[in-house]
Amino acid sequence: MKTTKHRTRPAAGFTMVEMLIVISVIAIMASLIISAFSNAAQDTRRVVARQQQAAVQSAVNAWVSANSSGPGKSLTSARTAYNGASTSLGRLNLVGGYLDVESLDHFTTNTTNNTQVQSQALIKTNQYLELGVWNASSYPKVELK
């Protein structure tokens, strides 16, 4: 009787080591992508914070213009009224008529400290807006801190 020997072929597929290498490479690539998206979200919040600062500064500028020009109005009387609202939140409410209602509501809802005006974007970036005292030698500024 004749016996035939069958050749055994190696199994087709990946070895365990090859699979671990592929999984490791995929994990590294995924972590890089997640990191990039995380940084993009943070950058977006910073841009939104700057835009909010600009919007509040525009409201302050419009308020100063409206309250310092015209009969019986002066820059000194506008400065006195502005500084009379002694906190940043008080000053924001003073100029709030020059902001859209949604923005003003958003700021007042998220502000828990009268000296630090905040929004969701500002809270997430650990920043706040400060409407400081208006000195005779300067102009009222909205600072992002």
- Per-residue model confidence as pLDDT tens digits over 56-108: 999 999 999 888 887 878 888 888 898 888 888 899 999 999 998 998 998 99
What pLDDT does residue 71 have?
Answer: 84
CA distance 80 to 76: 6
CA distance 140 to 115: 15
The string of DSSP codes covering 87-101 is: SHHHHHHHHGGGS-H
Across the range 97-125, mean pLDDT stands at 89
Torsions phi, psi of 142, nearest 5? -100, 115
What pLDDT does residue 54 have?
Answer: 92
Instruction: Return the number of other C-beta atoms located less than 10 Å from residue 127's C-beta.
Output: 19
Tell whether the torsion through CA atoms of 6, 8, 9 and 13 is positive or negative: positive
CA distance 141 to 19: 60
What pLDDT does residue 136 have?
Answer: 85
* Relative orientation angle of helices 88-95 and 16-68, to the nearest 10 degrees: 70
pTM score of the predicted model: 0.72
Which residues, other chains included, contact 119 with Cβ-Cβ below 8 Å and sequence gap of 6+? 48, 49, 52, 106, 107, 110
CA distance 76 to 136: 8
